[in-house]
Amino acid sequence: MLELKEVHTYYGNIHALKGISLRVEKGEIVTLIGSNGAGKSTTLRTIQGINRPRSGTVLLEGTALETLPPHEIARRGVAQSPEGRLIFPRMTVLENLEMGAYTRKDKTGIKDDLERVFTLFPRLKERIGQKGGTLSGGEQQMLAMARALMARPRILLLDEPSMGLSPILVELIFDTIVTINKEGTTILLVEQNALMALSIANRGYVIQTGEIILTDTAPNLKNNEMVRKSYLGIE
Amino acid sequence: MNKGLRLALNILIAVGVIYAILLIGPVASFDIPIIAGEIAKNPLQLVQYLIIGVANGAIFALIALGYTLVYGIIELINFAHGDVFMVGVFASLTVLSLTGTLNTTNPVHIILGLVLALILAIVICAVLNAAVERLAYRRLRNAPRLAPLISAIGMSFIIENIGLIWAGQSWLVPSFGTSGGAAQKNFPDLLGTMFTSLNLNQNLFTSSGIHLRITITGLIVIVLAGVFMLGLRFFIQSTTLGKAMRATAQNRDAAKMMGIDIDTVITATFLIGGGLAGAAGLMAGLYNNTAWWFMGFRAGLFAFTAAVLGGIGNIEGAMAGGFLIGIIASFSDGYLDARWTEGWVFAILVLILMFRPTGLFGEQVGEKA
Ligand SMILES: Nc1ncnc2c1ncn2[C@@H]1O[C@H](COP(=O)(O)OP(=O)(O)OP(=O)(O)O)[C@@H](O)[C@H]1O
Ligand SMILES: [Mg+2]
């Protein structure tokens, strides 16, 4: 469904992605793990068109995305819950969710999806009229994910959805990811919490300083010596 | 505060310090006992100045919205905006001239002429403002901050010179009435004319001896400006494009991720800002009865100060700031000396930028995301 081939992305002179190749098949949860500054967020931003690859290609069901403007990429079914959440601080929870559905025209479908995200995150329903910027960190994280879901994306990119959340909320978020996936959304999941990510993912990639150094099924990665040492903190 | 505003601030402070030295004159003229005596002697005069201030303030508010909307979206101070307003005045006068509205007393003719002038002034200024963005700002969007600022000042000069040439075309903007010299054109008070020809009193209230006169023109300007402001508020709050504008202003990357076409939003912002300046142009012409090529500088300074006063980027703030500056300017004109009014407004601008750059109403809430 989604395929990156030899993608190189730069920030000025900083060579952030040094030839990333990866693929996500329809219906999968694929996780991208790596330490700080490895290039995980840059990979997601490059897929979304916020950053431009200097070379290489990004294919969504065969269509090249790297030359399209970001709003066209969103229109083709790529949505993300970005690093730092990036919710609209002076818009209400409801308005934030409406913006998530910006590319859609099907009023009844949007209404159904609103109900759906409120079922997934009842907390957001309680806060429907509150300004996004006044939500707690965890609530903002839920909102960012719910907002991405409102696009009813073909592929959902999640950048550290468990960041800064209490253990119970982490549990909830991961359960939600599995639920969303079962309902038919393909997911590319970036996580610091590699153990959790690998426990729900089908496959995984390990990224280090802009390069993919390892890829395997999630169970195999979980048992991989190097992964256990470097990313799971298990000797 | 971000880099763009800081850069503009530093330039303005440098100019402002020079200006502050020049302000010793008006400060000396600020003689409180004399002013207090004048107010006590003739309190109705105060009301008169207040009304003039509110009417002009409504016009400044419309222009200030253009600064604030654009700044909110792309963090650029559109220095050409005041000149777009000037084009609005000339466009209105030209439409009124070409439709024969300047030389008629037929109320229907006047109304139709004014409505057409309003529509065309809005359209012309909207398109002009969007064209300025396309031509002078868009390709500099990722350039260092100073580049679009310089480009904006360049556009300002270009439009002022267009105004200068325009003012010289007597078939477009005829010298009308007695005071219409070569540089400064008279813009007749058509609403007053219309009311007089209907055998109605164009003065809603007059009292002789003491100067209080409330004119129909002033009232219509205030009401019309209010309608535009409410319309804008509704648009920003409730329409899809308005929401996309707010989203873009609050987080551009997130807006892109939502599928919002940033270029469309920016163009829409310039169209709206320009349109409001065009409407303000007709109103200012009718109310103040002059048109000249350099009037955009003064209006732009006042409106920009209003926008900064209200917290640049803050829509309600720009409206409030507009009225406040209008009233301050009117009091300065009336009680001090009209020649120093620009100096006072500039002093306010510099003081606000130095001591309270987020505006009178403070930081907008909810920035922690
Ligand atoms: N805007 C930027 N300007 C310059 N360099 C950047 C920028 N954003 C990221 N980088 C650099 O690119 C590299 C990859 O960053 P990226 O944010 O993709 O890492 P990450 O894997 O998401 O890390 P983390 O786990 O800390 O979020 C880092 O070396 C970072 O310093
Ligand atoms: Mg990251």
Q: Do B256 and A75 touch (CB under 8 A)?
A: no
CA distance B195 to B206: 15
Mean pLDDT of all residues in B181-198: 84
- Taking CA atoms, A219 is separated from A4, A199, A204, A230, in Å, by 23, 8, 9, 16
CA distance B79 to chain A (A): 27
Q: How many CB pairs under 8 A join A and B?
A: 86
Q: pLDDT-derived band of residue B57, with 50, 70 and 90 as boundaries?
A: very high
pLDDT digits (tens, 9 = 90+) for B289-348: 999 999 999 999 999 999 999 999 999 999 999 999 999 999 999 888 888 888 889 888
In a domain, B214, yes or no: yes
Higher-confidence residue of A231 and B317: namely B317
Q: pLDDT-derived band of residue B94, with 50, 70 and 90 as boundaries?
A: very high
| Mutation for testing the A interface, residue in B257, B266, B316 having most A CBs under 10 Å | B257
Enter the DSSP assignment of A90. Answer: T
Q: Residue of the nearest CA to atom 6 in ligand 1?
A: A11
Q: Is B275:B123 a contact under the CB 8 Å cutoff? A: yes
CATH number of the domain bearing residue B188: 1.10.3470
Domains of chain A, residue spans: 1-74+188-235
In a domain, B178, yes or no: yes
Mean pLDDT of all residues in B172-178: 71
pLDDT digits (tens, 9 = 90+) for A12-59: 999 999 999 999 999 999 999 999 999 999 999 999 999 999 999 999
In a domain, B3, yes or no: no
Q: Which residues contact A209 (CB under 8 A, 6 or more apart)?
A: A18, A37, A38, A39
Which residues on A lie below 8 Å from B361 (Cβ)? none
Which of B246, B262, B368 shows the shortest C-beta gap to A133? B368
Mean pLDDT of all residues in A79-103: 96
Which residues on B lie below 8 Å from A131 (Cβ)? 365-366
Mean pLDDT of all residues in B89-118: 95
The CATH code for residues A1-74+188-235 is 3.40.50.300
Does ligand 1 lie within 6 Å of residue A13's CB atom?
Answer: no
The tokens describing B236, both together, are 């920003």
CA distance B108 to chain A (A): 44
Higher-confidence residue of A169 and A202: namely A202
Which residues on A lie below 8 Å from B368 (Cβ)? 89, 133-134
Q: Residue of the nearest CA to atom 18 in ligand 1?
A: A39
Q: Is A7:A117 a contact under the CB 8 Å cutoff? A: no
Provide DSSP, B148-206.
HHHHHHHHHHHHHHHHHHHHT-TTTS---SSS--SSEEE---HHHHHHHHTT--SEEEE
Q: pLDDT-derived band of residue A163, with 50, 70 and 90 as boundaries?
A: confident
In a domain, B271, yes or no: yes
Matching residue, tokens 């030839």: A19
The tokens describing B157, both together, are 């000069």
Q: What are phi and psi of A131, to 5 degrees?
A: -70, 135
Does ligand 1 lie within 6 Å of residue A34's CB atom?
Answer: yes
Pocket test for ligand 1, best of A40, A46, A81, A208 (most atoms within 8 A of CB): A40
Enter the DSSP assignment of A26. Answer: T
pLDDT exceeds 70 at position B192: yes
Does ligand 1 lie within 6 Å of residue A141's CB atom?
Answer: no
pLDDT exceeds 50 at position B170: yes
Q: What is the mean pLDDT of chain B?
A: 89
CA distance A187 to A181: 7
Q: Residue of the nearest CA to atom 5 in ligand 1?
A: A11
Q: pLDDT-derived band of residue A199, with 50, 70 and 90 as boundaries?
A: very high
Q: pLDDT over 90 for what percent of chain B?
A: 63
Enter the DSSP assignment of B35. Answer: H
In a domain, B157, yes or no: yes
Does ligand 1 lie within 6 Å of residue A41's CB atom?
Answer: yes
Does ligand 1 lie within 6 Å of residue A169's CB atom?
Answer: no
Does ligand 1 lie within 6 Å of residue A152's CB atom?
Answer: no
The tokens describing A219, both together, are 């169970």
In a domain, B289, yes or no: yes
**pLDDT at residue B176, rounded to an integer:** 62
- Taking CA atoms, B102 is separated from B173, B175, B281, B306, in Å, by 10, 11, 16, 32
pLDDT digits (tens, 9 = 90+) for A212-224: 999 999 999 999 9
pLDDT digits (tens, 9 = 90+) for B27-37: 666 777 888 88
**pLDDT at residue B294, rounded to an integer:** 93
Q: Do A90 and B366 touch (CB under 8 A)?
A: yes
In a domain, B291, yes or no: yes
- Counting the structural domains of chain B, the total is 1
pLDDT digits (tens, 9 = 90+) for B240-288: 999 999 999 999 999 999 999 999 999 999 999 999 999 999 999 999 9
Which residue range is the domain that position B292 belongs to?
Answer: 29-355
**pLDDT at residue B369, rounded to an integer:** 31
* B56 closest CA partner among B278, B324, B270, B359: B324
In a domain, B368, yes or no: no
pLDDT exceeds 50 at position B368: no
Q: Choose from B44-48, B56-60, B99-103, B351-355 the range with maximum mean pLDDT.
A: B56-60
Higher-confidence residue of B38 and B218: namely B218
| Mutation for testing the A interface, residue in B73, B256, B258, B367 having most A CBs under 10 Å | B258
pTM of the shown model: 0.91
Q: What is the mean pLDDT of chain A?
A: 94
Query: Ramachandran region of residue A165, left (φ > 0), alpha (ψ -120 to 50) or beta?
Result: beta
